[in-house]
Structure 1
Amino acid sequence: MAAPHPDRLLPADPGVRSIARRLYDEVRELPIVSPHGHVDPRILRDDTPFADPTSLFIQPDHYVTRLLHAGGVSMRDLGVGEGPLPDDRARKAWRLLCENWHLLRGTPVRYWFESSLADVFGIIARPSSSNADDLYDRIASLLVSPSRRPRALLRQFGIDFLATTDDPADDLAAHQALRDDPQVATTVAPTFRPDRYFAVDRPGWVSDVKELGGDVGDYAGFIAALEERRRYFIAHGAVSADHGAVDAGAAPHDHPDRLYRAALAGTITAAEATAFRRHMIFEMARMSCDDGLVMTLHPGIHRNHHPATLAAFGPDTGHDIPVAVEFTRALQPLLERFGTHPGFHLVLFTVDATVYSREIAPLAGFYPSVYAGAPWWFLDNPAEIRRYQQAVTEIAGFSRLSGFIDDTRAFCSIPARHEMSRRLDAGFLASLVAEHRLDEEEAVDTLTALVTTQPRTVFKL
């Protein structure tokens, strides 16, 4: 392949493209603000060189492994769910990627991968069976250099703020070490993710909930423990709490203490467990109003769709599948109570593209607390991002957008994902300039805000 084209993803029309190019040039070097992601903070704390190309590019990235798996490649051969592999297995996994590079055609995964190879390692050759070993050796030789260690890349990527995703029981020692280290200029913040403590019918919940600390023998103690853990996260730099469930339901229950007792006794029904989870999402909004954590909500996912893969390789291995989701009625009790509360921020994400214009944009266009989360997961591709730009801004305006969210575990893909977003935003704004709906100065201001001030405003940075 040739070097990435300088006008990639910009509009095809020459006149609009020239506007988009000027807009993109205004923001291409601006720092990255990443308020939601999944990079392990211990990578940055320890600053240990990445072991090999496979552990950097393949094993942590379920975007890559699911496409290879769909094409017939074994997850075991890719080392999914394992730590760094012995050299022979790591090299074999890399060969499998290169031999099956065609499986990534037309996907944003290929775009991010090619951008990372070119920008981080100077590689513009298209991976194939014939050059797999050469590419592996070239990347491996660079990984041991000081300029490719995690902290060096963090600086090179220009990441100003990086949020991770963390269990409420985490001691956050890695975050504390990073905050205390004067050599780390990037703010690395934890995110409070309590989902597993709300799934009260999940096997192992009774023992897991004790990890929160405190007296969790009754509902009042459970609530107190969650409030205490939120305070602990805030003290360690957290700005948001993240919540994912199969639906967006959020409604108070008249007797949550009774449901909690049933959960502890192991007698709670499926319907009661759903009611308790929805009650706890409502409680999370109440706590956010009290302590100021931004609340992000991303429902509509059938987790671990393939039980055998879950058993063999664990969660987050590429088989979480979208389902249809409804927001308007589901969130009405929460928004009735908290939707106009001063300082409450609720960012709504979805993998159901149909709800952007039907529900999320209208909600964000009325409630001062609600923001439309960027397309993510299966929607974080150029086609869906373009549809989102039009669907949401036509109804709610640019000020109700979250700013870009990369939502990635693959460290080297962070700048590639943000670069893609900036190009697509530049293209969309250029079309508004070409249609005489904005002047170019307004477009520059809007694009700069989307990259810098908008995510900082939404996530209270």
Structure 2
Amino acid sequence: MKLQLDPARLFPVDPATREVARGLYNGVAQLPILSPHGHVDPRLLLEDTPFGNPAELFIRYDHYVTRLMHAAGVQLSELGIPDRTGVAATAGPREVWRTFSAHWHLYAGTASGYWLQHAFGEQFGITEQPDADNADALFDRIEATLATDAYRPRALFDQFKIEVLATTDDPMDDLAAHAALAADPSFSGRVLPTFRPDAYLNPATPGFADNVEKLAHWNGTPASSYQGYIEALAGRRRHFVDHGGVSADHGVFQPLAVDLNRSDAATLFEGAMAGTLTDAEQRAFAGHMLLEMARMSVDDGLVMTVHPGVFRNHNTDTFTRFGPDTGHDIPATTTYVDSIRPLLQKYGNDPDFHLVLFAVDETVYSREIAPLAGFYPSVYIGAPWWFLDAPDAVLRFRAAVTETAGFYRSSGFIDDTRAFLSIPARHDMARRLDSAFLARLVREGRVDLASAERISVDLVDTLPRKVFKL
């Protein structure tokens, strides 16, 4: 079957509305990509090593892709994912690609299928759908293309017109890769670290005490000192700011903020280090530290992003055998209004504090996030994320939040990806969908065309620069 990319894909079916959408899209299609939250390893660009093969590039590290094949009965070991127990052999790249090609039909209508078709067509000039018969030929074609200088990571960075790319980094990372990129005169892009302290804030995280000890050693204070712990976190945040960091990200299960006095917090910290806290006490301490991170954001200016509502590693056997980020993270119900109120009581009216709230629970957009962003100067609406960064979900998102908070309380699009080659596909999708949504408002007489043209540019450029202080 042919692989054809419709130039008007994702635009409205009605011809007149489609033409308005086409015009809006043409005004933003070639603007630079701002990616203020993602998970690409900075060493990819520092070392500029060619991508190994199609299976490594499109399948091995993309749990959007692997999870659907697993659901269809394909073992993760057949997809090139190492078995940590040493029991199962790992399939080779060509075999993985053959398995993927034979299951390509699974991705029809999915966001992953859309992004992959974009990459195959736009970046590799592929004109036929993968299948069992053409798998080897497509593998050879992509592999040969990847071996050329034009497809090395830095060349693609420029080809994709990426201006800013944020990574996600451990608080104790020395950020040497970021420093080297910033000092390299041959690299013109901005690759920014993001402070991700979850494993250092939640006592329920395996290895919490060890992580705190690393902080204490760096800070030159006893691991048992709550004051030293707070000072060390603030110091590591300054390290990120000094290396160009603009945000701190928090991947919590629920966005709980708890306002404890210093004495109570210190007592819980001691229990956390000793491993004696109850589940409720662990949640209380983690909630207190979320509020402390907000306080530190007010002090140091890092944008605070909150990504809640995901039950990580839902299947114990898969986690034991293959580790995290292997496709079995599942969305859960999220609530913000009561749980985050202590944080907003203290810092919500500070216009210099930027708090970006995300969700994978669609019901929370119109019920809680949009109303919060429609009042508090600090609160911005995070873009559709993870399970919701898909065409219909993005349109539902716009409909859910715009009537309450408008366009200018949102963050702009965020790709949130490890898959480097999917970045332009994801941003192009968002630009098309926002053009489609605005075109409908124009045709319904709710927004004039000149305003829609301005909004479409602001969603791509002005808002991410403002919200993430770029």
TM-score by length of 1: 0.98
Q: How many angstroms does 1:34 deviate by?
A: 0.3
2:179 corresponds to 1:179:
no
The answer to whether the 8 A contact 1:301-1:320 is kept is yes
Q: How many angstroms does 1:203 deviate by?
A: 3.1
Aligned residues: CA RMSD: 1.4
The answer to whether the 8 A contact 1:302-1:323 is kept is yes
- d(CA) in 2 for partners of 1:157, 1:211: 38
2:51 corresponds to 1:50:
yes
Encode CA deviations 1:63-101: one digit per residue, 9 max, x unaligned.
101111111111111122589xx9971100001100000
Q: How many angstroms does 1:217 deviate by?
A: 2.3
2:343 corresponds to 1:334:
yes
The one of 89, 99, 102 aligned to 2:102: 99
Partner of 1:222: 229
* Local SS of the residue matching 1:6: coil
The answer to whether the 8 A contact 1:201-1:268 is kept is no
The answer to whether the 8 A contact 1:375-1:385 is kept is yes
- d(CA) in 2 for partners of 1:54, 1:211: 36
Partner of 2:257: 250
Partner of 1:382: 391
Q: How many angstroms does 1:207 deviate by?
A: 1.5
Encode CA deviations 1:227-284: one digit per residue, 9 max, x unaligned.
0000000000100000011111112123110011011112111111000000000000
Letter of the 1:138 counterpart? R
- d(CA) in 2 for partners of 1:245, 1:206: 18
Counterparts of residues 135-214 of structure 1 (less than 5 Å):
135-212=138-215, 213-214=218-219
2:150 corresponds to 1:133:
no
Q: How many angstroms does 1:439 deviate by?
A: 1.5
2:368 corresponds to 1:359:
yes
Runs (4 or more) in structure 1 with deviation over 4 Å come to none
Partner of 2:79: 78
2:124 corresponds to 1:121:
yes
Encode CA deviations 1:291-329: one digit per residue, 9 max, x unaligned.
000000011111110111111111111111111011001
TM-score by length of 2: 0.96
Q: How many percent identity over aligned positions?
A: 55
* Local SS of the residue matching 1:399: coil
Letter of the 1:459 counterpart? F
Letter of the 2:232 counterpart? A
- d(CA) in 2 for partners of 1:379, 1:142: 32
Listed as ranges, the gaps of 5+ residues in structure 2 are none
* Local SS of the residue matching 1:368: coil
- d(CA) in 2 for partners of 1:69, 1:107: 15
- d(CA) in 1 for partners of 2:213, 2:321: 26
Q: 1:221 to 1:44 in 2, by over 3 A?
A: same
Partner of 1:458: 467
Letter of the 2:186 counterpart? Q
Encode CA deviations 1:89-127: one digit per residue, 9 max, x unaligned.
110000110000011111010000010111111112100
- How many residue pairs match? The answer is 459
The one of 394, 409, 413 aligned to 1:404: 413
The answer to whether the 8 A contact 2:83-2:321 is kept is no
2:447 corresponds to 1:447:
no
* Local SS of the residue matching 2:19: helix
The answer to whether the 8 A contact 1:322-1:351 is kept is yes
Partner of 2:34: 33
The answer to whether the 8 A contact 1:249-1:278 is kept is yes
Partner of 1:235: 242
2:403 corresponds to 1:394:
yes
